Amino acid sequence: MPTSQTNAAQNAGTPRWLQTRSEEQGAADARSLFQQVYGYEPAGVWSAPGRVNLIGEHVDYADGISLPFALSQRTYVAAAKNDDGVYRVASRFGDPVEIVHFEIPVAEVGPGNPANWAGYAVGAIWAATEAGLMPAGGLNLAIESDVPVGAGLSSSAALECSAALAAFDLYGGATLDDAVRNGLMGASIRAENEVVGASTGGLDQRISLFGQAGHALAIDFAEDSATQVPFDIAGRGLAILIMNTNAPHQLNDGQYAARRAVIDGVTADLGVSSLRFAEEAEDASVGWAKANDVDPVEVAARVRHVVSEIARTAEAIKQVSAGDMEAFGRSMQGSHASLRDDYEVTVPELDTAVDVAMAQGALGARMTGGGFGGSAIALLREDQVEATATAVAEAFAEKGFNEPEFVVALPSDGAHRNA
């Protein structure tokens, strides 16, 4: 799906709402694209959702705790085997929309190849075959998606998981149980880390495969555990508003990797599996910083974010479980402040969206995803949603930012076969 980059001069401050297809329509559109490109019917259609992370940011790779939920916005993959020994991938891109094709021999997929958008799909399939989940074989794929690219809502994991699941169903010949979902999760993580080269930690792939409607997923990465947490906010008259800033969102420009390198380095230096298990981790990080010729104040701030965010998320899970949304909103605010001041991954667009939402009466608001662009979320009363979106759009217009996009997030199911 193309992402709007409308010039601010054209932005009159009227909210632009993202449209989401029903699963039936999304599957039908993917099937239609497959027929148009390949000239015959696909064997089936599979889909996986994007995600929004309520709290617990930049801690998945630090054996921390996160609380995401799966979105109703999904990526749909229509697929069929081929006997040609190649992966063929087709999708719609651009404005105006055009069909983009990519083809690569099965034997040539691996670390660093292909290092483009198709690598998310075929890389996950390659990694799944490497893990023994299924034999290698050619595939024709057609992709439709409602998960906006670059919005911090994990369009990459949605593509990885839907493609890997399609390949597994076609070549694996086994039941899709939790063990298989875990295998596909690992394969999708490996694709992102090794094939495409994005140093992500696994939150996105887990929720994309294990999400449940009406629930968030409390993930403890140190324990490798996940617990479904009821999150029926609509029943409380509340809503999560996603505010896609349309600011540039890049995780592969070194910023994400640089922060992860600090956390990985300090963790190893302290001899612990996670900073959450270290005593006085912030003070202890000074020695690593000096040894690696890095600003100790900056390193201490990075460590402070990880330690505080893990503790804050553990408390937030208790707040959500108890239905204390006001306290949870305060935890969201603390998370954003830490990401802004200590981890330094926000941008003016994200901070503006959060500040305006809070001024409109939100219980809490924060950036979500990797940062450096992407989306912010706000926890609001349902009757505040429209006014908040309007106020954010107007603020963006006044500041000369790109036109934002909005959608109300609903906790939905994880990856599955649609047709």
Report the chain's C-alpha Rg in angstroms. 21
Residue for token digits 């390193």?
299
Distances (CA, A) of 41 to 81, 145, 168: 11, 19, 19
Strands, sheet with 65-66, edge to edge from the N-terminal-most edge strand? 65-66, 215-220, 225-230
Catalytic member of 60, 63, 146, 204: 204
Distances (CA, A) of 200 to 47, 84, 190, 286: 21, 32, 9, 25
Say how many Å lie between the first and final Cα of the chain, rounded.
21
Q: Is 204 a catalytic residue?
A: yes
In whole angstroms, what is the distance from residue 308 CA to residue 216 CA?
Answer: 21
- Give the DSSP H or E segment for 260: helix 255-270
User: Counting Cβ atoms within 10 Å, is residue 43 exposed (0-12), middle (13-18) or buried (19+)?
Assistant: middle
In sequence order, what E strands does 249-382 have? 364-368, 375-381
Give the pairing type, strands 16-17 and 44-53: unpaired
Report the Cα 252 to chain-centroid distance in Å.
Answer: 14
In whole angstroms, what is the distance from residue 174 CA to residue 187 CA?
Answer: 17
- Which residues are tagged catalytic? 204
